[in-house]
C-alpha cells in the first residue's frame, strides 16, 4: 500500500469558546497589570484542506504538522513542536495495475542462453541474479514473449493463488500454456508482462530489472 507523506504548517486562530482579549491602552504612568491567563486568548490549530490528486486504490496517509516558530519558547520544545496523524484512505474507481521490480546484484556473466524453451532462465532477470516484483493488486498471470520479427513464442504462467509479490525466475513447476512452435537458435527480444484477474496489465520488461534480449541455442 503506498504511503503519502504530507507536511503542513498549523495555522493558529483564537478558539471559538475563548474570544480574543479586548485591546487595553497602557497608562502614561503607574503600574500595568497584565490580563490574567484565564482571560488571555488561547490558540487552536485550524487545518487547511489537503488537496490530493490520487488514482483509485488504497493509501496510507501520514500528515505531519508543525507549529509556527513565532508562538514563543513553550512551543520551541520538540515535544510540542510537531504533531502527526495517520489514517487509511480508499479512493474508489478502477485501479491501474502497477509494479515495482528489483534484482539482486551478483556479478558474473549475466547474459542468458536458453538450452531449451523449458529452461528456467527464460523468466530470470539474467543468468546470475534473482528478482522480485511487488504489485498494488494481485497478479494472476505472467506472460513471456520471445520474438525476432520472423518467429515468435509466447508462454502464459499462472500465479495460483494471485499474489501481490512474485519472484523471478518463476519456479520450474509453474503451470503454463505455450503458444507457438519451437524457436530456431538465435537472438530474441524478450517481453515479460504481468496481468491481474480483471485483465489489467503492466510491462515488467521496461523496468530495467530484466534483460531485454536472450539467446536460444536449442528447441
The per-residue pLDDT for range 52-108, each reduced to its tens digit, is 677 777 777 777 766 555 554 555 555 555 666 777 777 776 778 999 999 998 876
What is the pLDDT confidence band of residue 9, given thresholds at 50, 70 and 90? very low
pLDDT band at 6 (very low <50, low <70, confident <90, very high): low
Instruction: Note the pLDDT of residue 63.
Output: 72
DSSP code of residue 79: H
DSSP state of 77: S
Average pLDDT over residues 165-176: 94
- The sign one gets for the Cα dihedral 119, 122, 128, 132 is negative
Measured from the Cβ of residue 98, the count of other Cβ atoms closer than 10 Å reads 15
Q: DSSP assignment, residue 198?
A: T
Q: How does residue 130 score in pLDDT terms, banded at 50, 70 and 90?
A: very high
Strand partners, 139: 163, 196
How far apart are alpha carbons 141 and 14 in whole angstroms?
Answer: 58
40: cell is: 488571555
Name the least confident of 27-41, 131-145, 165-179, 198-212.
Answer: 27-41
Please tell me which residue, 43 or 106, carries the higher pLDDT value: 106
Contacts of 137 (CB under 8 A, 6+ apart): 57, 95, 97, 164, 196, 200
Question: What CA–CA distance (Å, rounded) separates 157 from 141?
Answer: 6
Q: Name the least confident of 22-31, 136-145, 160-169, 181-190.
A: 22-31
If one compares 200 and 67, the residue with the highest pLDDT of the two is: 200
Q: Is 52 exposed, middle or buried (0-12, 13-18, 19+ CB in 10 A)?
A: exposed
| 196, three cell numbers | 491481474
pLDDT: which is higher, 133 or 17: 133
Q: In the chain, where are the structural domains located?
A: 3-91, 99-216
Q: What is the grid cell recorded at 70?
A: 513565532
pLDDT at 200: 93
pLDDT grade, residue 124 (50/70/90)? Answer: very high
What is the structure's pLDDT at 70?
56
Amino acid at each position: 500500500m503506498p504511503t503519502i507523506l504530507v507536511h503542513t504548517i498549523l495555522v493558529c486562530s483564537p478558539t471559538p469558546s475563548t474570544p480574543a482579549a479586548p485591546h487595553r491602552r497602557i497608562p502614561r504612568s503607574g503600574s500595568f497589570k497584565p490580563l490574567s491567563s484565564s482571560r488571555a486568548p488561547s490558540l487552536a490549530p485550524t487545518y487547511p484542506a489537503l488537496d490530493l490528486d490520487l488514482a483509485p486504490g488504497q493509501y496510507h496517509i501520514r500528515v505531519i504538522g508543525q507549529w509556527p516558530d513565532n508562538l514563543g519558547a513553550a512551543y520551541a520544545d520538540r515535544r510540542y513542536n510537531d504533531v502527526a496523524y495517520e489514517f487509511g484512505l480508499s479512493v474508489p474507481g478502477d485501479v491501474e495495475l502497477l509494479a515495482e521490480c528489483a534484482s539482486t546484484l551478483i556479478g558474473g556473466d549475466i547474459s542468458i542462453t536458453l538450452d531449451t524453451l523449458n529452461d528456467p532462465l527464460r523468466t530470470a532477470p539474467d543468468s546470475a541474479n534473482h528478482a522480485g516484483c511487488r504489485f498494488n493488486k494481485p497478479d494472476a498471470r505472467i506472460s513471456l514473449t520471445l520474438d525476432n520479427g520472423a518467429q515468435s513464442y509466447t508462454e502464459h504462467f499462472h500465479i495460483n493463488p494471485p499474489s501481490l509479490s512474485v519472484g523471478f525466475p518463476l519456479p520450474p513447476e509453474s503451470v503454463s500454456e505455450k503458444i507457438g512452435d519451437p524457436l530456431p537458435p538465435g537472438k530474441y527480444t524478450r517481453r515479460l508482462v504481468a496481468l491481474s484477474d480483471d485483465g489489467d496489465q503492466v510491462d515488467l520488461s521496461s523496468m530495467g530489472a530484466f534483460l531485454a534480449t536472450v539467446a536460444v541455442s536449442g528447441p
